Structure 1
Amino acid sequence: MKINFIALLIAAIVTLIVGFVWYSPKVFGTIWMRENNLTEEDLKKGNMLKIFGLTYVFSLLITVTLMSLTIHQSGAVGMVGGPPEIDKAEPSFAAFMADYGMAYRTFKHGALHGFLSGLLFAFPLIGINGLFERKSWKYIFINSGYWLVTLTLMGGIICAFV
């Protein structure tokens, strides 16, 4: 199983694209700002290069995790010691990968796993933080919804093209 690093780089951009739309004033941006007690002036004070740059770096980390969650063959590769050890694997591994190496490698399958990651991982994390930070349910649902959509798209891209 070879990794398509370009697909991972593209999948990481999804966080920025979805965020641009999701948090725009015409979608949830105005409500999100109100729930965070932020103003337009507050948002202009941020270092956008740092914010977008680190967002992309963090998104790359997410793609690595999503790759292991969406591509089931990653487990088989891990069992032989990872990519550096594939050449040393038993012939049965090559036969297995020849038969099943592309099983469930579709956008739809990856999107399902991405959605489940958002629902069963991101939503609870944001919910816990929101509750302790005394944030509203609007805040929790807006941010969780963003991650549901983002992880669904990222999972689809990763599973289909990596």
Structure 2
Amino acid sequence: MEVNINWLAVVLAALATFVVGGLWYSLLFARPWQKAAGVTDEQLKSGTARVFVGSFILALVMAVFLAAFIGREGAVFGTLAGLAAGVGWVATALGVNYLFERRSPVLFAINGSYNVVTFTAMGAIIGALQA
């Protein structure tokens, strides 16, 4: 099986996680997320470089594997594959962890839906550019 990766698509998909995350965790759900996660304003001010660099590296890994899965199937398949990965794998896996950790359903809803939207966007970008 030959796997072709469009590296520009991977980088753009990884950057998309920051665009969605910026909207999600600032404009849309900043305070509810902070409260549910137990994160203070002071905590958000420290370790920022480590958080952003680490997040970008992890987003690149996610995008590479999603690109390998999508292949050259096009934008529609990529979007649906991203949606399926977000709902079927990522959000549900978070849900299992959150249940055992007795975490807030609000936190699950915010983080799970972020991943659904993010993976859908990444899939659309990769599918469109890798076709």
TM-score (norm 1): 0.74
Q: Is the 8 A contact 2:5 2:68 kept in 1?
A: no
After superposition, give the CA deviation of every residue in 1:7-45 in whole Å (9 maximum; x if it has no partner): 211111111111111001x31111010001222112112
2:62 paired residue number: 62
Q: Is the 8 A contact 2:70 2:127 kept in 1?
A: yes
2:44 paired residue number: 43
Q: Secondary structure at the match of 1:113?
A: helix
Structure 2: 5+ residue runs without aligned partners? none
Query: What count of residue pairs does the alignment treat as equivalent?
Result: 128
Q: Is the 8 A contact 2:25 2:33 kept in 1?
A: yes
After superposition, give the CA deviation of every residue in 1:104-126 in whole Å (9 maximum; x if it has no partner): 31x22211110010110011111
Does 1:129 find its partner at 2:97? yes
TM-score (norm 2): 0.90
Does 1:151 find its partner at 2:119? yes
Q: Summarize the Cα distance change of 1:134–1:69 in structure 2 as closer, same or farther, 3 Å threshold.
A: same
Equivalences for residues 46-125 of structure 1 within 5 A: 47-71=47-71, 104-105=73-74, 107-125=75-93
- The percentage of counterpart residues that share the same residue type is 34
Q: CA deviation at 1:50?
A: 1.1
CA–CA distance in structure 1, aligned partners of residues 44 and 5 of structure 2:
37
Amino acid at match of 1:120: G
1:20 paired residue number: 22
For the aligned residue pairs, the C-alpha RMSD in angstroms reads 1.5
Q: Summarize the Cα distance change of 1:3–1:65 in structure 2 as closer, same or farther, 3 Å threshold.
A: closer
Q: Is the 8 A contact 2:14 2:59 kept in 1?
A: yes
Which is further off, 110-119 or 61-70? 61-70
1:78 paired residue number: none
Q: CA deviation at 1:2?
A: 4.8
CA–CA distance in structure 2, aligned partners of residues 49 and 148 of structure 1:
25
Structure 1: 5+ residue runs without aligned partners? 74-103
Q: Which has the higher contact order (CA 8 A, sep 6+)?
A: 2
Segments of 4+ moved more than 2 angstroms: 1-4
| Rg larger in structure | 1
